[in-house]
């Protein structure tokens, strides 16, 4: 993929189902944060929140014109669902969970907007920024964020997000020194 954008996403649910939020962070090919998002989505399960976070991120990417992307999340269920859709699986065979059906349809409908899309599972430790932002969605139910990083000024959220992003970038560089993978975790 040429100049891919990386999107780390996460969903959080307090109660499962319960009050839920979504969060995500977009990075450019050098790992710099270029866009963040978080939102409160109401009452949902953890899987609904995870899938909603991915869908919201893909809608932002579509709006920005980013068609080559890697998406990373810590939910194996949602990553596997996405990978099966990317491989051409029929929508009717994808979800045994009726609560995810309408969201799986939304995901299916978004995928043709991308020329190159890869979905990868990451451990929770590699998804701290997105997790933090998803929890911000729950903590701030009347305030959503969908903002280019250079215009994002909410304090203290910005400081905490920046610190987590810096830590993620440094950890990735240590772990992959000598490896030619410019898309950073």
1-44 confidence digits (pLDDT tens): 556 899 999 999 999 999 999 999 999 998 888 999 999 999 99
Q: How many CA atoms lie within 13 A of 123 on its CB side?
A: 4
Place of tokens 């920046």: 162
Q: How many domains does the chain have?
A: 1
d(CA 111, CA 129): 24
* Domain CATH for 126: 3.30.420.10
Does residue 152 register a pLDDT over 70?
Answer: no
90-119 pLDDT per residue, tens:
777 555 667 788 999 999 999 999 999 999
Of all residues in the chain, what percent carry a pLDDT higher than 70?
79
pLDDT at 143: 79
Residue 15 lies in a domain: yes
Residue 152 lies in a domain: yes
Residue 125 lies in a domain: yes
Identify the domain containing residue 103 by its residue range.
5-174
Residue 48 lies in a domain: yes
Beta-carbon contacts of 129 under 8 Å, excluding residues fewer than 6 positions away, are: 8, 23, 25, 33, 36, 161, 164, 165, 168
d(CA 85, CA 106): 11
Beta-carbon contacts of 82 under 8 Å, excluding residues fewer than 6 positions away, are: 54, 71, 107, 119
Residue 180 lies in a domain: no
Residue 181 lies in a domain: no
Residue 185 lies in a domain: no
């Amino acid at each position: 993929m040429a100049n891919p954008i990386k999107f780390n996403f996460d969903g959080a649910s307090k109660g499962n189902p319960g009050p839920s939020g979504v969060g995500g962070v977009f990075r450019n090919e050098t790992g710099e944060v270029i866009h963040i998002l978080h939102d409160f989505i109401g009452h949902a399960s953890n899987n609904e929140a995870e899938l909603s976070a991915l869908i919201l991120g893909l809608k932002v990417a579509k709006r920005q014109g980013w068609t080559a992307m890697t998406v990373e999340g810590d939910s194996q269920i949602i990553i596997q669902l996405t990978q099966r859709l990317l491989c051409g699986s029929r929508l009717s065979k994808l979800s045994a969970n009726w609560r995810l059906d309408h969201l799986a349809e939304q995901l299916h409908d978004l995928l043709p907007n991308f020329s190159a899309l890869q979905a990868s599972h990451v451990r929770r430790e590699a998804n701290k920024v997105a997790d933090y932002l998803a929890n911000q969605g729950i903590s701030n139910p009347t305030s959503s964020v969908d903002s280019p990083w250079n215009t994002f000024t909410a304090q203290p959220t910005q400081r905490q997000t920046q610190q987590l992003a810096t830590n993620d970038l440094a950890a990735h560089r240590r772990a992959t020194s000598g490896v030619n993978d410019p898309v950073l975790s």
